[in-house]
Amino acid sequence: MGLTSRLLSTASALILFLLPVAASADWQATSGPPGGRVRSFVADSTSVYAATGGGGVLASDDGGGSWSFRNAGLTSHDLKSLATLGDTLFVASDENVFRSADQGESWEACGTELAGKYTKTLLARDGQLFAGTYLYGVFRSPDRGDSWEEVNAGLPARNIYWLAADGAHIYAGTYLDGLYRSDDLGESWEAANNGLGEPNIMSMISFEGRLYASTLWSGVFVSEDHGDSWVSLGTSLPSVKGFVTMGGVLYAAAHGPGVSRSTDSGQTWETVNNGLSETNLWSIGTDDGSLFVGASSGHVYRSENGGDSWTLSYGGSFPSSIGGLAESSSRLIAGSHGAGLFYTTNGGGSWHSSTSVWTVEIRAVIADGSLVLAGTDLLGVFRSVDGGGNYSQSNSGLTSDWIQAFTFCGDAVFAGSRDGGVFLSTNDGASWSPRNEGLGSVNINALVSDGVRVFAGTADSGVFRTEDLGNTWVAVNSGLATGAVTDLALDDGRLLAGTAGGGVFVSDDHGDLWSAENQGLPLQSHVRSLAATETFFFAGSSAGEVFYSVRPGMSWVELGSALPGGPVLALWPSGDHLYAGLSGGGVWKYELSDVTGVEEVPPLRVSMSQNYPNPFNPTTKIRFALPSESEVEIVVHDIAGRLVTRLAGGVYPPGRHEVMWNGRNAAGHDVAAGVYFYRMTSGSFEDRKKLVLLK
């Protein structure tokens, strides 16, 4: 493979608001790729909730008669597990745990200890919340997510797949390491695997004094002594994605066979799929006498007669969460968080699933000619040598299964991992060897190369450089104000680093010295993705914005309007279009001819933008810009001119800013639906706009 096609190498981004319903300014939504996989259900006194793979949180206030997405405040839509503790709702995602105190209408991240960590399962027990993560074991929160502590004494396993409890114990079912039990709320753990057929635990439940554990390949096992010993259930019941009980009956949902029911404590089972049009199920739950199951498609089915018959409860569709983009010949390839690997040959008019990649969590993709590599979160690298037609695992020499960045350097290819640093392949990804001498972190978010040097952006220690194919690395962080590097881009000697909270930094001397280049970006921007063409640099933000800078300058202008479904996790220029992969909105595209020829960035002026979304329920955002330090006031009045709330007041520094209004909590009480007006004043500047609150 030639060097020329490898010189411009953008790293895969790591690791939302509303689903796209219309084009945003000049952005156009492609047809997907589709999301799916309803992974968890939970119910409280008013609603039932479903966690989806790409769409966010589905909620129904009428027992499943109608559903809507409630995602305001989520920064990931790839969701794994739901739980309630008191009047607080929690959801686990591939990058944090979020909580809601208003039935999912708004969400906030829980503490800082789980930020950036893939959390697979949640359990509320004795007033405390437990979180099972990939790579980091179990965490416990005594204060509803305000803070977390690791509770892994005696628990060597890292990948926690399922948490369950009975009267006196907590159980942690793991991927690869079997089952562990705690008798003291997680203070200590011991293995409980005697008799289990394999070490991969998919789901668990305690029912009528017995403990049931489903494995990945060996079926279901049962224990009558709290896990001291296990025996096979001895039925044809396959790997179960979830159990639930209702009215003394035990139910199991499986991928393939659908729903099974047992009325004799699991001794015998019957299939109860009448009315189910699809039986690839991922979850099961209950609410007020009804059963719910979630399918691979993202659909929800409901039974109101104990499983005797089922009806479609939610049949809508939603796009997937896209974390990586690449191009091979005529194929644009999209790696999703939670829905698998996809490709399109017609600019996103239609998408196709690459089924030979048999995992749903794709963290990075890269391509050159007929070679395509896909990095996954627990299964390492998948490799195709026919342009993405067929893939097979290619993990020889890898000591990490979590690959989240790639770059080419000449005839070599580098892979960056979540927990094992950097790996080198000199045979197009057929085998790998670690290259970590001098690296200050093993958590590699981004890789990029100029054909001679390779740069690694880490999650916690800044940027490192190698000039000898990874044999030695040196830190190159002078002037870089943060170690949290999210992405890298490089072209014609100019190196860009996107950061979490510090915007964009630029180096023109191979990383020896960095400077912040954030004119036009919101203050403390969380940049999630970068890309470059011969004319532009591009930056995607956590708020769904895409900015461009005309080369060689480094002032930024927003490209269209903020995209619904941000953060923007991946950017890929191709032909006349820029493609953007969103955490909750699939792939969008922008025609670059609309911006070609722009030679200078217009100066920043005092301005206030129309709130978005509008109409809204319950939150909306208002953005304003200042060319210099200024005093600003933004107030909201009702249609009669009465003051409702004050959103901004005081002196603000120059730059772009935003404020949010929550119509359910303004001035300490709910605000009625209707038409309102907001007014901004700053010196001689005054502007007034209308907004509409729905309920």
Q: How confident is the model at residue 691 (pLDDT cuts 50, 70, 90)?
A: confident
Average pLDDT in the 480-506 region? 95
Q: Is the pLDDT of residue 25 over 70?
A: no
Fold of 607-693: Immunoglobulin-like (2.60.40)
pLDDT for position 6: 36
Neighbours of 63 (CB within 10 A): 17
Q: φ, ψ for residue 256 (rounded to 5)?
A: 125, -65
Choice between 25 and 512, residue whose per-residue pLDDT is larger: 512
CATH for 235-318 (3.40.50.10190, 3.40.50.2000, 2.40.10.500, 2.60.40.2470): 2.40.10.500
Is the pTM above the cut of 0.85?
A: no
Domain boundaries, the chain: 235-318, 607-693
Q: Is the pLDDT of residue 204 over 80?
A: yes
Average pLDDT in the 288-296 region? 97
**In terms of residues, how long is the chain?**
695
How wide is the angle at C-alpha 265 spanned by C-alphas 259 and 266, nearest 5°?
50
Q: Is 62 exposed, middle or buried, given 0-12, 13-18 or 19+ CB atoms closer than 10 A?
A: exposed
Q: φ, ψ for residue 116 (rounded to 5)?
A: 85, 0
Average pLDDT in the 201-222 region? 96
Average pLDDT in the 567-587 region? 96
pLDDT in tens, 585-634: 999 999 988 775 444 445 667 888 777 677 777 888 887 888 888 999 99
Q: Which of 374, 359, 244 lies closest to 303 in space, CA to CA?
A: 244
Q: Is the pLDDT of residue 119 over 70?
A: yes
Average pLDDT in the 688-695 region? 83
Q: How confident is the model at residue 107 (pLDDT cuts 50, 70, 90)?
A: very high
- Candidate ranges 4-8, 262-266, 275-279; pick with highest mean pLDDT: 275-279
Three-class DSSP category at 6: helix
pLDDT in tens, 462-490: 999 999 999 999 999 999 999 999 999 99
Give the dihedral sign, CA 535/564/445/486: positive
d(CA 441, CA 430): 25
Average pLDDT in the 346-352 region? 97
pLDDT for position 15: 25
pLDDT for position 603: 60
Choice between 41 and 493, residue whose per-residue pLDDT is larger: 41
pLDDT for position 624: 86
Using an 8 Å Cβ cutoff, are 402 and 417 in contact?
Answer: yes
pLDDT in tens, 133-168: 999 999 999 999 999 999 999 999 999 999 999 988
pLDDT in tens, 361-389: 999 999 999 999 999 999 999 999 999 99
- Tokens coding 322: 């896209």
Choice between 23 and 110, residue whose per-residue pLDDT is larger: 110
Choice between 178 and 550, residue whose per-residue pLDDT is larger: 178
> What is the chain's mean pLDDT, rounded?
91
pLDDT for position 354: 97
Q: φ, ψ for residue 210 (rounded to 5)?
A: -120, 150
Strand order in the sheet with 433-434: 403-409, 412-417, 422-425, 433-434
Position 640, amino acid:
A
pLDDT for position 669: 59
If DSSP states are collapsed to H, E and C, what string results for 445-474?
EEEEECCCCEEEEECCCCEEEECCCCCCCE
Q: Is the pLDDT of residue 16 over 90?
A: no
d(CA 673, CA 620): 14
pLDDT for position 667: 45
Choice between 637 and 260, residue whose per-residue pLDDT is larger: 260
d(CA 691, CA 671): 13
Average pLDDT in the 111-126 region? 96
d(CA 298, CA 38): 5
Q: φ, ψ for residue 123 (rounded to 5)?
A: -145, 125
pLDDT for position 665: 58
Average pLDDT in the 20-44 region? 83
Share of the chain above pLDDT 90, in %: 79
Q: Is the pLDDT of residue 2 over 50?
A: no
Q: Is the pLDDT of residue 36 over 60?
A: yes
Q: Which of 132, 34, 118, 151 lies closest to 83 in space, CA to CA?
A: 132
Average pLDDT in the 439-456 region? 97
Q: Is the pLDDT of residue 668 over 70?
A: no
d(CA 266, CA 264): 6
d(CA 232, CA 195): 8
pLDDT for position 391: 98
pLDDT in tens, 404-418: 999 999 999 999 999
